[in-house]
Amino acid sequence: MGPRRALMAGAICGVLVFVNCLPARRWGRAFARPFLGRVLNAGFLVLIGIELFLPRPYLIWLRGGGERRGGDGFLSRVVLVAMHGAAVLALFVPFAVVMPWAERHLRSGQAEIVFGSHYARWSRFDVSDLAWDPLRRHLLLCGDQQDTVVELNVDTRALRDTGLENHGNEFCEFDRKRDLFLTADASSGELIAAKGADMADLKRVRLNDLPPGEIFVSLFDAAGLVVAASENENGRGTGPEIRVIDLDRMEVVREIDSDVGFSLAHPDLPILYVNHFAKDFGIRAIDIEQGQVIARSPFFGRSDRMVFDAARNEVLATAPVDGRIYRFDATTLEPRGYYRTVFGARGLALDPVRNLLLVSSFVTNKLDIIDMGTGKSLRRYWLGPWLRDVRLTDEPGAAYVGSRYALYRVRYLE
């Protein structure tokens, strides 16, 4: 029994690796077919079940001699039952049925939904990134399935479709100094700058044949610059992936060649930090005025989002598979250790007043609150699936967490 179980687990993990390597356009064609789309959507729970229980418990079982004992260990049975249970649940109970039930019975009492929810494979409440407009106390919501940007008044909870079309580009920023909302349109390859409350004064800047894919937007307000960087999806494009735009002249002033899976602006200096979720190359620090890489971190695995810790002069980066937030010196990118957190860690936000780090997981559905002084988790809140960005406003003790299916407001100090 032991060898057969080992082969089965290896085959399942091999299938997961294979499907994650398939080109995005192939998945797009598959989702376009009604029947296969339903199958893939149901399969989401199977994948989550496997990712939650493999490979770590299985490897622990192997280290403990479970295979040598013929596979009769308690842990081996738990792993297999959990895997098969997730598969059965996905086959017989649709995702759109399971999640509303989970909302009612599992969501933490400190969390509320302010936008959404809708559990379909293409959700109109998809929120990938949040930009904060402190002048009007509005949150701007950008997401993969939103053709136009949505605005949330955090005082009244009123929602408004701004009508600003960016065709689902996931990232945006707000420049308080110039009263500019900044996003990009991946379909046209343009940076969008919209001024004022009604966003009527609209300017678009051509990004000079930027490679295709999601466009990350990073603001350097002191320098009057913004960076638009393409993920260059599946390596389909050629040429530099980064454009530096002068906000006063509204034109591209520099092009820089570097892989980008996420980008972060230094708050005071013209330094852009880039990492990657699909490639393990650590973090690169790029001087955007010189167009040169000035520092590199050691490799530490695939990484998702980053945040700048000004109090410690550190760059923090998620490592979803490890369940860690790695710390690096912001000047040299030398490692400074890590914080342990939830598996699938993705979104990050800092509460510098209370010395807290907020981490969202796209696998465990949880928001983790970490004391940065001790490195310990203080509390965790169950929100919902596929969590993304975390954003703090000027509301004391309130955090906004975007996901593929909803936007949550969490009272994270309770």
pLDDT above 70 covers a percentage of the chain that reads: 78
The reported pLDDT for the residue numbered 40 is: 55
The reported pLDDT for the residue numbered 176 is: 94
Tell me which of 188 and 80 has the higher pLDDT.
Answer: 188
Range of lowest pLDDT (12-26, 121-135, 167-181): 12-26
Q: At how many degrees (to 10) do helices 34-53 and 95-105 cross?
A: 50
pTM across the whole model: 0.81
Tell me which of 182 and 198 has the higher pLDDT.
Answer: 182
Is 99-123+341-414 in CATH node 2.40.128?
yes
Please compute the mean of the pLDDT values over residues 185-190 and round it to a whole number: 92
Q: What is the pLDDT of residues 55-77, one digit of tens each?
A: 444 444 444 444 444 444 555 55
Tell me which of 381 and 2 has the higher pLDDT.
Answer: 381
The reported pLDDT for the residue numbered 69 is: 41
As a whole number, the mean pLDDT across the chain is 84
Neighbours of 374 (CB within 10 A): 10
Segment (H or E) for 71: none
The reported pLDDT for the residue numbered 29 is: 61
CA distance 243 to 255: 5
The reported pLDDT for the residue numbered 367 is: 97
- Rounded to 5 degrees, φ, ψ at 390 are -120, 130
Tell me which of 194 and 84 has the higher pLDDT.
Answer: 194
Residue ranges of domains in the chain: 2-93, 99-123+341-414
Q: What is the pLDDT of residues 26-63, one digit of tens each?
A: 655 665 556 665 565 555 445 544 444 444 444 444 44
